[in-house]
Structure 1
Amino acid sequence: MNIIEILASNLVVGSIQVTAGDALGFLTGLLCVWLTAKASIWNFAWGMVNSLILGLVFLDQRLFADSALQVVFIALSIQGWWQWKVRGNPQASRFRATTWHEQAILLAVASIMAWLMWLILVELRGSAPPLDALITALSLCAQWQLNRRQVSSWYWWIAVDLISVPIYWSRGLYLIACLYVVFLALCVYGLRNWQQTRRTQSPMAIA
């Protein structure tokens, strides 16, 4: 039995039948987002574990863009770890604002990425090409902002969660869909926590 078959094995949680991958994705994802909301650097380590698990689950469900996204998340998590801590940059511990100009550029980039990935997914016959591509594009932009400790990243994650819940539920990934509902609540908490923390920084740090 390979690892994908193990993750696809069924478990019963209450009255709902889920897979081992759903359960592990739920637990590791919950821990990752909680640590991110608390601005702990360990969110990156658990994020990599979560991405590995979900990447295999999505691959089994033919959600190709979501599966490939997890590989990119692992790479971005390594970069984020470096940006937050390893390089020792004093700016790394400070929260940043995002200008409207930056947001406009990110929206344009996300739109182009989503369109290109949609064309690719149609050829690959993925399960949900338009939404799958949109989730991928928004998530990449959100993670890029998170690595830079930009408070605006939480708004992007909230958008990702709102789109993800119905698509994962429709694919029978009930526990992962519920996880994204919890993610949504944690994102609201994380947004408020980062905003409050940023307000306590010195004017030089905020700049």
Structure 2
Amino acid sequence: MKKIAIASLLAAAASSQVQADTIGIYAGAYAWQPSVSDSTEVGDLGFDFDADDNATSYYIALEHPIPIIPNARIQRTDVTADNKYSVGELDLSHTDATLYYEVLDNWVHLDLGLTARVFDGQIKNGISNVAIDDTVPMVYGNVMIELPLDFYAGVYGNATNLNDYQVYDFTARVGWEAILGLGIEAGYRTFNAQIDGLSKNASVDTTFKGPFAGLSYHF
């Protein structure tokens, strides 16, 4: 029995190693419908915004078998909110460039790394524009569990509390992957940004949150 148990453990370890020692490409795109909670200010002017229903996000990640070199992931999110009462817009669109390592890679997947979030948005108030264009370092984490019948579930996200940026951004998702790698994905994303120190005494304290649905691909 002891020999059988040891053989089983060795086989499981070998299977896990084979799975880890492959090149994988992960990609996806989804439509996001967030509501917005906002207290954006420019000088002494406050603004109330409605979320844009056309928020979108798409990503691609590359994983490889070289242990010392991190894996890479890029995600783009376009998200804006229109002012309720006058001409104006809050744009918190950004690109995430992430380097991460696979800590676990079997039926439970755990990735940890660092993200550079590049904001390229702005605040428009009908009179002047305030740029939101900093690059912010963030901690990245991703947990995913493989489920029966090619389903999976997990949570991934980024967070930082640095200088004038306090940001957290978490996505809970479930998905199903077909034999050829094409799948569907749905979930809920919460993106909170507290930003101070902008020009013209502007500040942002906003939460975008809501469901999303889209397509995924794994090769």
Shorter-normalised TM range = under 0.3
State the TM-score, normalizing by the size of structure 2.
0.24
State the TM-score, normalizing by the size of structure 1.
0.25
Q: Which has the larger radius of gyration?
A: 2
Task: Give the structure with the higher percent strand.
Answer: 2
Greater RCO (CA < 8 Å, at least 6 residues apart): 1
